[in-house]
Amino acid sequence: MGGPANIIRGGHDGVTAAAEHLQSGGLVAFPTETVYGLGADARDNQAVARIFEAKNRPSFNPLIVHVLDFNAASVLGVLDERARRLANAFWPGPLSFVVPRRPDCELSLLVSAGLDTVALRAPAHPLARDLLARFGGPVAAPSANTAGEVSPTHTAHVAQSLGTKVDMILDGGACAVGLESTVIDLCSDQPALLRHGAITHEQLEELLGPVEDATRPADGEAPRSPGQLARHYAPRIPVRLNAQDVEPNEALLTFGETTFGEFDTSLNLSPNGDLTEAAANLFAFLRQLDTATHHAIAVAPIPDTGLGRAINDRLRRAAEAHTDTHNG
Ligand code: TXA
Ligand code: MG
């Protein structure tokens, strides 16, 4: 990191260097047939945290995990007959499935933003496929742009948008589709379209029968952004923010130097005060502290800068989950 973004040609050496960079926990922007993705090892919480940091997103959205094929996907998610039919027709290609994570799934919790589901896609671009094959594992990749900007379809867009925040850009020319992939939710009996893309609603219905259009709110309904549609994981016990002290029977989640003393159940998101490390630990630690032996989780203040904004956003939702009605 530091110097200018490293744009590399997509030959054998370039792909090998990119795969090695992913293996060492780094970020690589790479072309897909839809848009350029900002990739990291999807099993590595810390690497995935770097994606959110580079994009400067104020919240954690679940990311699409890229795989080579149906077999690689079925190790990560629960793929049913509908997924098999869709994959036979459209993979590799611009279609992502949201499916339940397998219980033994080795993916980062951060990649799912703490959800029990994951979005999976086998991209068609030859360079993306070369990279996945050489890397030999799942690659998490949102579009390779800063939050709020349009998705990049050229190497130059990636460099303009992310600058030195991306270590390496694999140059594959212009993206053929130029629009993000279609996203379909296969978690319940009724399949739901979450995002429009090159694979159309009609194409999906031809194979599956009726597919609910969940891309726009129905009249009078609250907006169903993907983040709301996805039933976000919230601890079962209450979460108390900005705690200055710890009450009896509370578990403690801290950050940086702590003045709380020693507790039976206390986890520090990052003793060194590193927000990337804190983001990487967040969902795993929340789950660890969410046990019936505690009445609540007390959370120490976390700086509201950089990745801290996304961490605080997520913690606020967890705290609010107990005052809202639970109707997903
Ligand atoms: O074409 C694409 O899909 C590009 C290229 C790089 O593959 N990737 C992309 O990723 O657009 P991203 O992170 O920008 O968009 C992911 C979309 C978001 O709308 C997100 O909410 C939804 O997929 N998504 C991902 N995981 C989900 C989940 N577990 N539940 C519901 N929605 C999910
Ligand atoms: Mg995007």
Which residue among 195, 213, 231 closes a domain? 213
Given this model, what pLDDT does residue 223 score? 46
Q: Based on the fold, state whether residues 145 and 280 are members of the same structural domain.
A: no
Given this model, what pLDDT does residue 284 score? 87
Of 29, 27, 37, which Cα lies nearest the Cα of 1? Answer: 27
- The answer to whether 37 touches 144, Cβ cutoff 8 Å, is yes
Q: Which ligand is nearest to the CA of 51?
A: 1
Work out the average pLDDT over 292-310. Answer: 93
Q: Based on the fold, state whether residues 209 and 244 are members of the same structural domain.
A: no
Work out the average pLDDT over 264-286. Answer: 92
Of 139, 176, 136, 155, which Cα lies nearest the Cα of 10? Answer: 155
Number of domains making up the chain: 2
Of 274, 175, 287, which Cα lies nearest the Cα of 239? Answer: 287
Can you give the residue range of the structural domain that contains 107?
6-213
SS (H, E, C) 46-111: HHHHHHHHHHCCCCCCCCEEECCCHHHHHCCECCCHHHHHHHHHHCCCCEEEEEEECCCCCCCCHH
Is 145 domain-assigned?
A: yes
pLDDT confidence bin for 57, thresholds 50/70/90: confident
Is 281 domain-assigned?
A: yes
Given this model, what pLDDT does residue 217 score? 58
Any idea what the CATH number is for the domain that residue 309 is in? 3.40.50.11030
Does position 229 have pLDDT exceeding 60, yes or no? no
Is 227 domain-assigned?
A: no
Of 195, 200, 198, which Cα lies nearest the Cα of 183? Answer: 195
Does position 328 have pLDDT exceeding 90, yes or no? no
Is 219 domain-assigned?
A: no
The ligand 1 atom at the shortest distance from the C-alpha of residue 177 is 1
Which residue among 213, 228, 256 closes a domain? 213
Work out the average pLDDT over 9-23. Answer: 92
Q: Quick: pLDDT tens for 188-201.
A: 999 999 999 889 99
Largest interatomic CA distance in the chain:
61
The ligand 1 atom at the shortest distance from the C-alpha of residue 117 is 29
Q: Based on the fold, state whether residues 24 and 101 are members of the same structural domain.
A: yes
Is 218 domain-assigned?
A: no
Give the integer Cα–Cα distance in Å for 239 and 105.
27
Let me know the angle formed at the C-alpha of 80 by 77 and 86, rounded to the nearest 5 degrees.
Answer: 95
- The answer to whether 86 touches 95, Cβ cutoff 8 Å, is yes
Ligand 1 binding pocket mutation candidate from 63, 95, 196 (most atoms within 8 A of CB): 63
Any idea what the CATH number is for the domain that residue 190 is in? 3.90.870.10
Q: Which ligand is nearest to the CA of 139?
A: 1
- The answer to whether 76 touches 66, Cβ cutoff 8 Å, is no
Of 52, 48, 92, which Cα lies nearest the Cα of 73? Answer: 92
Q: What is the mean pLDDT of the chain?
A: 90
